[in-house]
Structure 1
């Protein structure tokens, strides 16, 4: 177990609310939320995966040709870490921007690796500029905030963002590259349409 793992009973100085896991919730940084169970009443340490139906069967990743009817949890890949992902937070979809330099900002995250680069496009991915990263080395599982400026001419534009991690991995361009019947771990380029007038 990583030393950053917490048993949380309070948040912001107040007891956890039931929706956040009262009385105690495990918080396991770097792993998918399903590995941070809520409503703990007892804790056991074991050297094998949980056989709880939700832990053992529900959060599995299957190939694209597997359907809900043909899925066999024994053959699914257990989801532990979250995929590399990035999002544009500003501007928002449908924003009206002025011509010239426009600030584009967002975040990137990788379950268990460091974000080393974020690329931003003003033309749907035909060309890219590298964003500036704002990273806290003391918080290895935290979001990496990024920002850049794009010089956008008049017209409609599709902004896109993709992140890269320390292993040289990046996000797929389209959701069908990671399609699965449950929709899990779809972390393709985030796209935002804006209008420059």
Structure 2
């Protein structure tokens, strides 16, 4: 890499049509991330050549980053001093504080979204499910991007009390999904189930979407909540 270069930019074959403008899709990532062992220029998947819908003939794969930073159908790769000036990189996927609106947003002052937050979700039971009173199994997943999921807590009363879930096939490694399950004893009535994950740095998720609200809704990773009726 050229001395002092801080970014690797990628230009793609697909065209974007946004607000009357036409341009090729493009993105960039910091050079330190580009040189990391986990980042791939992929031309095969599972031993077979990439298909067009997966980005053939060549695509970028950047574990732990937002999908927008893993562009498909690569055409040109450039090592450069500054991030890409492509509108996808320069104007979109920016994080703004709560008081900023669509009308007042200045892309040059937003935080560029690369890495993703700690997150978790309840997959079972489904929202508004009707369950029988007694033992109930709650299942879901958690992700911690470049850290490991260390613990998952599940609540049956909207977060007032918590039980620790059991982690399934837990690799403890970065970028992996961690599946979990918990057994709850649910009495009759309406219940708000909630889940929160903890990573190996002791960080956890915010309780409410309002805690990280922004007008585009980016990186919202508050406790996932599911309401159920127990009969």
- Which is higher, the Rg of structure 1 or of structure 2? 2
Residue 58 of structure 1 aligns to a residue in which SS? coil
Residue matched to 2:140? 106
Residue 42 of structure 1 aligns to a residue in which SS? strand
- Following superposition, the deviation at residue 111 of structure 1 comes to 2.1
Partner residue of 2:171 out of 136, 139, 157:
136
- Following superposition, the deviation at residue 163 of structure 1 comes to 0.8
Residue matched to 2:199? 165
Whole-angstrom CA distance in 1 between matches of 2:77 and 2:225 = 42
Q: Which blocks of at least 5 consecutive residues in structure 2 are unaligned?
A: 1-34
Residue 79 of structure 2 aligns to a residue in which SS? coil
- Pairwise CA RMSD: 1.6
The number of equivalent residue pairs is 196
Whole-angstrom CA distance in 1 between matches of 2:50 and 2:95 = 31
Q: Deviations over 1:150-195 (max 9, x none)?
A: 1101112111001111222211111111111111001111111112
- Following superposition, the deviation at residue 9 of structure 1 comes to 2.4
Native 8 Å contact 2:145 2:174 kept in 1: no
Native 8 Å contact 2:141 2:178 kept in 1: yes
Partner residue of 2:85 out of 51, 55, 61:
51
Residue 64 of structure 1 aligns to a residue in which SS? coil
Decide which moves more: 115-124 or 6-15: 6-15
Residue 82 of structure 1 aligns to a residue in which SS? coil
Task: Say yes or no: does 1:41 pair with 2:75.
Answer: yes
Whole-angstrom CA distance in 2 between matches of 1:21 and 1:178 = 33
Residue matched to 2:44? 10
The ranges of structure 1 where at least 4 consecutive aligned residues each deviate by more than 3 angstroms after the TM superposition are 10-19, 45-48
Whole-angstrom CA distance in 2 between matches of 1:150 and 1:47 = 54
Residue 49 of structure 1 aligns to a residue in which SS? coil
- The alignment's TM-score, normalised by the length of structure 1, stands at 0.92
Q: Which blocks of at least 5 consecutive residues in structure 1 are unaligned?
A: none
Whole-angstrom CA distance in 1 between matches of 2:117 and 2:98 = 17
Residue matched to 1:119? 153
- The alignment's TM-score, normalised by the length of structure 2, stands at 0.79
Whole-angstrom CA distance in 2 between matches of 1:113 and 1:33 = 18
- Following superposition, the deviation at residue 14 of structure 1 comes to 4.3
